[in-house]
Amino acid sequence: MRKWISFPKQSGVSSKQAHADFPEQAVYEREAGRSGFFGPATHFHHRHAPTGWSEWEGDLRPRCFDFNKLTHPQTISPWRAPNLLHNAHCKFRIWHCQEKMEFLVRNADGDELLFVHEGRGELYCDYGHITLEKGDYFSIPRSTTWRLEPIEPMQLVMIEATNGSYQLPEKGLVGNHAIFDPACLDVPEIDAAFQAQYSEESWKVEVKRHGQVSVITYPYNPLDAVGWHGDLAPVRINWRDIRPLMSHRYHLPPSAHTTFVAERFVVCTFVPRPIESDPGALKVPFYHNNDDYDEVLFYHEGDFFSRDNIDRGMVTFHPAGFTHGPHPKAFKAGMEYKKKFTDEIAVMLDTRDALEMGEICASVENKDYVYSWQEQKD
């Protein structure tokens, strides 16, 4: 058994409540915490913004990638989409699917989570048929056989739980029906569209295991189930089904927006919500050292209120080991309470283990992003 060393203390001038009622002489708060936002934490009050560095040397730095600029190989197999960010427990890819898949795929390495950034399509799998729309998450259990037929060209974020599985977060005091009701989860159905694709013709299945692809050929379409029962199945939920936790007096940490949990990482969803209205409450994300997690944000839609010059389809990557937080303009606007409502939709990946960048990332990185926290002189 072990226990965090815990002895709450106070030194100098500080607020009593985190993220609220800052002392006049130090409006910049920085949180240093452990275990994401669940462990012990200390809140510092600074005279200067904790992100006010003037120079940066070395590979550890905040990064921004414009994955809209990637050149995409002419393939309709998700297993040929390159790893963009990855570690032993997680693979982050972006897959462009524009043509009907005339074969099936199966991931034997772990559960797959799809997020539809663009387009819509029909997905067929062992469990039946489902239509995927823009903004959908679709969680696929390990070793499920599936294929996709785009109705419109599709761009999908794929997050693999390597050698792991996706589950829902514990919702604690707010109860099981908060954030989204489990009744919002849809599953594929053995419907007429699924039955219409039964076939006695030859089909191939691309199976990925240990990152390598094997091909199994069947003399028929193996998606031939006539029914199923049980409590293991792919599930779909759209970001529009998510009703975020809110507090008008306290800025909630990103962990309050957790959508899926895996063994060594979480996936969170930021959706539109009212901005805190209490005069003393912080109204933008707080400066923080999340020293146990690497943080990745995929920007799907809207106006990303804590960032400057970020467009849809971009990704920011903040490795553990330094303070990060809102850009200067966003922090100033928050202090002045200029916006009353956020209209951003973003997918966040927080990994307990350090992420590595795929080789292709260097070609679309904004190398000046590390200096984007510098105050702009008028």
> What is the domain-level CATH number for residue 300?
2.60.120.10
Domain boundary among 220, 239, 258: 239
Active-site residue flag, 43: no
Q: Is 339 left (phi over 0), alpha (psi -120 to 50) or beta?
A: beta
The end-to-end CA distance of the chain, in Å, is 56
Question: Do 291 and 255 share a domain, yes or no?
Answer: yes
Report residues of the chain scoring pLDDT below 50: none
**How many Å apart are CA 119 and CA 329, to the nearest integer?**
33
Same domain, 217 and 111: yes
Which pLDDT does position 40 carry in this prediction? 86
181 is in an annotated binding site: no
SS3 (DSSP) at 222: coil
Radius of gyration of the chain (CA): 22
User: In the listed set 239, 255, 275, which residue is the last one of a domain according to the structure?
Assistant: 239
Counting other chains too, the contacts that 5-14 makes at CB distance below 8 Å and 24 or more residues apart are 5/40, 6/40, 12/45, 13/45, 14/43, 14/45
Reported as type and span, the H/E element at residue 181 is none
Q: Domain ends where: 216, 239, 262? A: 239
Q: Are residues 161 and 216 in the same domain?
A: yes
Pair of tokens at residue 234: 């792919």
Task: Domain count for the chain, please give it.
Answer: 2
Both 202 and 338 in a single domain? no
Does 288 appear as a known binding residue?
A: yes
- Of 47, 96, 37, the C-alpha closest to 292 is 37
Range of the domain at 200: 73-239
Q: Are residues 293 and 158 in the same domain?
A: no
Indicate whether 150 and 56 sit together in one domain.
no
Per-residue pLDDT, 98: 92
pLDDT for the residue 73: 57
Question: Is 294 within any annotated ligand binding site?
Answer: yes
Same structural domain for residues 277 and 202? no
For residue 20, is it within any domain?
no
- Set 96, 251, 257, 327: catalytic member: 251
